[in-house]
Chains A and B, each alone.
Chain A
Amino acid sequence: MVTTTAAAKPSQDSSLLEPVLSVRHLTTEFETRAGLFTAVKDISFDVARGECLGIVGESGSGKSVAALSIMGLVDYPGKVTAGQILFDGTDIRTLNGRELRKLRGSQLSIIFQDPQTSLNPLFTIGRQMIDVVRAHRRCSLPEARDLAIAKLNLVGMSAPETRLRAYPWELSGGLRQRVAIAMALLLDPLLIIADEPTTALDVSIQAQIVSLLRTLKVELGFSLIFISHDLGVISSIADRVLVMYAGRAVEQHAVPSIFTVPGHPYTSALLASAPTLQSDRTLPLRVIEGGLPQMQDRLSGCVFAPRCGYVQERCLRAEPPFVPLSNTSNHEVACYYPLVDAHASDGKGER
């Protein structure tokens, strides 16, 4: 699978091996009246070409702030205070506003949760799509229009020519999300970040959108960061999953192993607390007692320690580093006492 964009690069082979996105020690903080709030703390991850990285976490875990940081969209009172965000070899943090705007919407695009609010209700779909094209590319109006029609076709919109004249509010939630995906695809991006793109949709429509993104990713070869709180949705699209908790990355591993042999107690508890159609109805669901740490709680050790069932004295003293289970493992866990050893988790997911 060779992407068109990657093929245009001079050094083909090496650029294919390099990750599209490499985030290192990203920290994003917000100034609040109560002091500095660290929304994302020291997270590192890569996204390979054509890969889908799932980011899963509950509200307040920092997954959306991480996405906005990558897009360079964090505004005052928030600020990316440390780390590197290497996108296709360039550190996004070093770019100025003009350079960022050039990147966003062309090589790097984002799909938000609610297309009702991300699309402008005052303009037609066509106008908004054509504007995006013409902001990045010198082309005539008919050319831009043709491109918009082509992308609407790609996302399975019937009668795209007529749809161009529609306003966002004339479309259903599912169709609006298809428009948002078509807009993200307009300039053949290398990476698309989808932040809870199916959360506002009904299950049958959710399944359609997930399946569409999965197919497009294979056909067009872009990379995808898919953010969701829904473990089921994540498992149906991601190749690899990063689990976030209270602004930290706590675990990262391939699908399906992360679901079958979770290493971090939080991941394990999260999996057990989500009801599925297989859940044993006679047993109570496992709960994670307590709630997220409040910003005033200055914790010295592991952020999950107050809610962890396996907590030891060491966990309260210092924060565990986010490291691979072993030298050869691609399974990273931020825990002193992971629930699996490196050998078990490198298997094909058998329990």
Chain B
Amino acid sequence: MMAASPRVLDLQGIGKTYRVRGQASASHLRALDDVSLAVDRQQIVGVVGESGCGKSTLARIIIRLETPTEGTALFEGTEIHALRGAELLAYRRRVQLVFQDPYSALAPRMSVEDAIEEPLKIHKIGTAQDRRLQVTKLLDLVGLARELGRRYPHQLSGGQRQRVNIARALALNPRLLLLDEPVSALDVSIQAQVLNLLRDLQQELGLTYVFISHDLRVVNYLCTIVAVMYLGRIVEYGPLQVVFQQPRHPYTLALLQSIPDHTTHSGRHTVVLRGEVPSPVAVPSGCAFHPRCPLAREICRVERPALRSTGPGHVAACHFAEEVSATALIPHMAASTSWP
């Protein structure tokens, strides 16, 4: 089956270590550790985690802005980091990235039309006339009025700018879109517009998304699969609805419980996760989450739990995965939360 249609993206045991020059001696920052992630056609895979968990490094490795120190990254069956020449150009057409800050991602002195046309020019696609036509189509596709084409980024609102970035990412007909916190900088009402647009485009164009976000509410709305990262490792992975309703890693549960929700008022009652994410330069022994984990026991300090199956398509890296749902109830599941 694998041979018949290779996965869009297949990451196997990706590791990334940076050398950090300290005062006394050089130490190592483990940004990613043994990350494996498979993405099939038309899936929307959410990668969630707090700052420093390695989610952006992962995106940078997929887009070839960084080289992994270990592991293989396959795109449609081919190693991404071995691509050269024409193959590399083709890869760059097929995979596109949308960044968080829609303003700094656009050149301030380039009009919207020019910005959207640029990738087509770089890849020498069509005549000048074809390209202009394509730009108009792209403006329509992302719901921007054609008149906006002559404007400059500073004349646009945040939501419009992010639409321009999306149009630009779509210009080359990519198969895979990496979205790195694409709505985090936007206001709530604008965020909804962009999320709806992303969802429509995915269906219309049959795209595959890797959606990186720290906001579980947004991920819940858009994604079909979710990978939860903590200190450079994937700690839980599975179909979104399963993972969010029955998390098997205490970190996932804690993240879900930390989200304040105006519809259930849950934030008032939850026990918060103690402590902070440790530095990736000094990752705790055993399970990296053990210093903050309410379930931690002796074994967690010593032995690092491997990702293991906890249900169909669902894996978690916890020695006590089966106890996770029993020990704490997700507040949003208890719909009858009382008001104070």
Contact = CB atoms under 8 A, between A and B. Distances in A.
B188 A232 contact: no
B262 A277 contact: no
Please indicate which of the listed interface residues B216, B267, B273 has the most CB atoms of chain A within 10 Å of its own CB: B267
A231 interface: yes
A235 B218 CA distance: 18
Interface string A116-137: 0000000000000000000000
A287 B188 contact: no
A236 B260 contact: yes
A12 B193 CA distance: 52
B267 A277 contact: no
A258 to B, nearest CB: 9
Contacts of A208: 272-274
A291 B159 contact: yes
Contacts of B148: none
A259 B195 CA distance: 22
Contacts of B190: 58, 291
Interface stretch (B104-112, B250-258, B318-326): B250-258
A270 interface: yes
Contact of A269 (B189, B199, B265, B276): B189
In this complex, the member of A174, A274, A277, A287 whose beta carbon has the largest number of chain B beta carbons within 10 angstroms is A277
Given A275-B192, A277-B220, A202 B261 contact: no
Contacts of A256: 265, 339
Given A256-B339, A277-B217, A232 B261 contact: yes
Interface stretch (A1-9, A160-168, A278-286): A278-286
Contacts of B157: 291-292
Contact of A270 (B188, B195, B218, B260): B188
B332 to A, nearest CB: 5
Interface string B75-93: 0000000000000000000
Nearest to A228: B260
A86 B263 CA distance: 34
Contact of A202 (B159, B193, B214, B244): B214
A285 B272 contact: no
Interface string A126-161: 000000000000000000000000000000000000
B50 interface: yes
A232 B196 contact: no
A348 B254 CA distance: 30
A288 B196 CA distance: 12
B259 A203 contact: yes
B276 A277 contact: no
B262 A235 contact: yes
Nearest to A203: B258
Nearest to A57: B187
B191 interface: yes
Contacts of A291: 157, 159, 190
B218 A278 contact: no
Contacts of A275: 192, 195, 217-218, 220-221
Contacts, number: 133
Interface residues of A, number: 47
Nearest to A257: B339
A207 B196 CA distance: 28
Contacts of B217: 232, 274-277, 279
Contacts of A203: 50, 214, 216, 255, 258-259
Given A233-B267, A236-B268, A273 B339 contact: no
A59 interface: yes
A323 interface: no
B188 A229 contact: yes
A207 B273 contact: yes
Contacts of A233: 260, 267
B275 to A, nearest CB: 9
A206 interface: yes
B189 A279 contact: no
Interface in B239-288: 244, 254-256, 258-268, 270, 272-274, 276-277
A259 B255 CA distance: 23
Contact of B267 (A232, A286, A287): A232
B50 A288 contact: no
A206 to B, nearest CB: 7
Contacts of A288: 189, 192
B261 A286 contact: no
A210 interface: yes
A349 B266 CA distance: 16
B51 interface: yes
A292 B50 CA distance: 31
A92 interface: no
A203 B262 CA distance: 15
A281 B263 CA distance: 15
| Closest A-B pairs by Cβ, 4 of them | A236-B267, A232-B260, A202-B50, A236-B260
Given A206-B258, A286-B192, 8 more contacts: A202-B50, A202-B51, A207-B272, A231-B262, A273-B188, A274-B188, A274-B217, A278-B261
12 contacts: A59-B158, A172-B276, A204-B255, A204-B258, A204-B273, A235-B265, A273-B188, A273-B189, A277-B332, A278-B332, A284-B196, A287-B193
Interface of A: 58-59, 172, 174-175, 202-208, 210-211, 214, 229-237, 255-256, 259, 269-271, 273-279, 281, 284-288, 291-292, 348-349
